[in-house]
Amino acid sequence: NEMRDYRWFQVSSFKFQVMRYLITFSYLGTNYHGWQIQPNGNTVQEELNKALSTLCREEISTTGAGRTDTGVHARMMTAHFDVNVPIGDGGQFVYRINKLLPKDSAVFSIKEVYDDFSARFSASERTYRYYITKEKDPFTLDTVAYINFDLDVELMNKAASILFEYEDFTSFSKVNTDTKTNNCTITHAEWKKEGNLLVFTISANRFLRNMVRAIVGTLIDVGRKKITIGDFRKIIESKDRCKASTSAPACGLFLEDIKY
């Protein structure tokens, strides 16, 4: 009934206990080229790997729960990593890694998990929220999408409810991705007014690259009455990204929650 499962291997007559940890954190994506490491451009994963490697005194490579695009934020993101030396006081570890990380990212917690746990594949549900405002605010320019036109929220919610009827969301995915399937199960999709904000919340077992922003952009066109609810259905059934609308700006999108 141990919460950990050790894997043993022999290196130069020494035995190491390889342990896996799940780390939970958040970041403001404005200054990053997304989550995943890439040759050119600063990424969240690169910064996290560097901080963990420094603190653990060994090369650490994290596996995230998913990807976020350039400029997209995460109120909650998770990643797992393997380490040879046990992490002691979790609270002290969190404090020390936050001292190493840039000011626009923060670790909340770290816990030991089974060695076959995957931050990506063990997740059962992910939730994103998209924030829109009609009132320009210099303090939220990087976290809320600013628009200057009226939207019919009731129409947008009627269109959003159609998403539950489908599984193939090729029309809302970037082309030429490495995914084997474009099928997703959406469990929640709703627009709500929260003060001076209009917020779209969507949950699913998985999301395709650029999927949420493409859905939001197309639903906005429904709300502007540029396309009908019938058009929205046809766009899904076409399985053609060119039929959907332009993706909504990255600044308004947050990865909000991940469930295991």
- The residue from 5, 69, 115, 178 that is catalytic is 69
For the question of residue 137 being annotated catalytic, the response is no
Sequence-ordered list of residues with C-beta below 8 angstroms from that of 231, at least 6 positions apart, any chain: 222
Q: Which of 210, 214, 202, 158 is nearest to 179 (CA)?
A: 210
Q: What are phi and psi of 110, to 5 degrees?
A: -145, 135
C-beta of residue 247 within 8 angstroms of C-beta of residue 217: yes
7 vs 40: CA distance, rounded Å: 35
141 vs 40: CA distance, rounded Å: 25
C-beta of residue 112 within 8 angstroms of C-beta of residue 35: no
CA torsion angle for 258, 39, 50, 63 (degrees, to 10)? 30
For residue 230, the 8-state DSSP code is H
67 vs 119: CA distance, rounded Å: 12
Report the relative pairing of strands 63-64 and 73-83 from DSSP bridges.
antiparallel
Classified as helix, coil or strand, 227 is coil
As given in the structure block, the two tokens for residue 233 are 């259905």
Q: Which of 27, 16, 22 is nearest to 3 (CA)?
A: 22
- Provide the annotated active-site residues: 69
